Amino acid sequence: MSLPVERKPLHVPPFEEVAAVLQNALKKSFAEASVSVVECPDLKQQPFGLESKGLCGSPRLADVGGVPYLMPLVKREKVYDLKELAKSVDLPNAFVVGAGAGPFPYVGANSELMANLKTGENASNGSHIAKIDTTSGNYVLQKLPATETGCALLLNMYACEGKSGKVLHVKAKKRTADTNLVSCMKKGLEEFYGDKSVGLGGTFRLIEGKVKCHVMPEFSEAPITCDAEVNKWLKFFEMPAPMVFMSTFVSKENGLDLRLEHSHGYGKDWGGHYHYDTTPDIVEYEGYYNIAEFMYRVDRPKDSHGFGRD
Ligand SMILES: [Zn+2]
């Protein structure tokens, strides 16, 4: 069964210009910040440990499903396969990183997905999920087996050919304003580019400090209808460095009912959905992003709403 797919081109400004815009934005919120255009390092190596070397070659973003499939009540038929999603974004041999809901049919529970995999000819899977242990109430991190490429309900993904090439190298240290790393960059792009949608995808790591993350518990049996109920349902934790995040963001809604930013990450045995760091005085981030050429909207919900998108 093929999924409905819409596609719109994104605005693709010159790398040097985006680097300057991001650096200006980060300097307003961090004591030390720099963004430069570099040749993508081998991201297969630690500390990133991704499944492909680079973030380049046919860069694109996709927003799959959405929060309306999770709430008010879960729609259990909304199960996807990343191999098929890669085909949906016209890249059957893709390197994909992303943040979404894990494959509950395999996991046996609702979970956070840190997607990091290659599909097609040289497939490999480094994806992880984080779920809530129903007995202890604590989080559990699990690496998915090579054969498990499912996800569910909602996913924000960045896909490319996994090649080396030019990328943006982001560094930020000591937060001085009330914003998270990604929102700060998104806002900078929005202020500079206005109605033109600029979308970035890639990875960042938390080198020092702690972040507030959530992990979704089991699906709610009671309908969730507003942000206050969302926050009552979610389980929040403070998670320490080092962590690696899969991250996407887009500066502006472009008529596709998008989630504008979404980052999931993991450490040694913890992981979840990124909200913000809780240690402004010592926090330190480093990331690599590419500028996406297209935004794909896959299986867009017909009945949408605005809550649960933080
Ligand atoms: Zn999330």
User: Residue 27 C-alpha to ligand 1 middle, in angstroms?
Assistant: 26
Whether the Cβ atoms of residue 78 and residue 300 lie closer than 8 Å to each other: no
Question: Can you give the residue ranges of every domain in the chain?
Answer: 8-298
Q: What is the pLDDT of residue 219?
A: 97
User: Residue 246 C-alpha to ligand 1 middle, in angstroms?
Assistant: 10
Question: Which residues sit with Cβ closer than 5 angstroms to ligand 1, an ion?
Answer: 99, 273
User: What is the rounded average pLDDT of the residues 36-58?
Assistant: 98
User: Residue 258 C-alpha to ligand 1 middle, in angstroms?
Assistant: 13
CA–CA distance, 151 with 110 (Å, rounded to integer): 10
User: What is the rounded average pLDDT of the residues 46-73?
Assistant: 98
User: Residue 192 C-alpha to ligand 1 middle, in angstroms?
Assistant: 26
Taking 80 as the threshold, does the pLDDT of residue 1 lie above it? no
Q: Cα separations (Å) of 68 from 130, 262, 301?
A: 21, 16, 7
User: Residue 185 C-alpha to ligand 1 middle, in angstroms?
Assistant: 18
Q: What is the pLDDT of residue 2?
A: 84
User: Residue 102 C-alpha to ligand 1 middle, in angstroms?
Assistant: 10
Contacts of 87 (CB under 8 A, 6+ apart): none
User: Residue 273 C-alpha to ligand 1 middle, in angstroms?
Assistant: 5
CATH 3.40.50.620 assigned to domain 8-298? The reply is: no
Instruction: Give me the amino acid identity at 118.
Output: K
User: Residue 1 C-alpha to ligand 1 middle, in angstroms?
Assistant: 26
User: Residue 301 C-alpha to ligand 1 middle, in angstroms?
Assistant: 17
User: Residue 152 C-alpha to ligand 1 middle, in angstroms?
Assistant: 12
Beta-strand pair 294-298/60-65 = parallel
User: Residue 199 C-alpha to ligand 1 middle, in angstroms?
Assistant: 17
Q: Which two tokens mark 152?
A: 């569910």
Q: What is the pLDDT of residue 257?
A: 96
Model confidence pLDDT, tens digit, residues 236-258: 999 999 999 999 999 999 999 99
| Mean pLDDT score of the chain | 97
User: Residue 128 C-alpha to ligand 1 middle, in angstroms?
Assistant: 13
CA–CA distance, 255 with 237 (Å, rounded to integer): 34
pLDDT higher for 216 or 306? 216
User: Residue 266 C-alpha to ligand 1 middle, in angstroms?
Assistant: 12
- Quick one: pLDDT band at residue 310, thresholds 50, 70, 90? confident
Model confidence pLDDT, tens digit, residues 182-199: 999 999 999 999 999 999
As a whole number of Å, the CA-based R_g of the chain is 18
Taking 70 as the threshold, does the pLDDT of residue 209 lie above it? yes
User: What is the rounded average pLDDT of the residues 3-31?
Assistant: 98
Taking 70 as the threshold, does the pLDDT of residue 143 lie above it? yes
User: What is the rounded average pLDDT of the residues 203-208?
Assistant: 98
Model confidence pLDDT, tens digit, residues 102-120: 999 999 999 999 999 999 9
User: Residue 275 C-alpha to ligand 1 middle, in angstroms?
Assistant: 9
User: Residue 53 C-alpha to ligand 1 middle, in angstroms?
Assistant: 25
User: Residue 263 C-alpha to ligand 1 middle, in angstroms?
Assistant: 6
Q: What is the pLDDT of residue 166?
A: 98
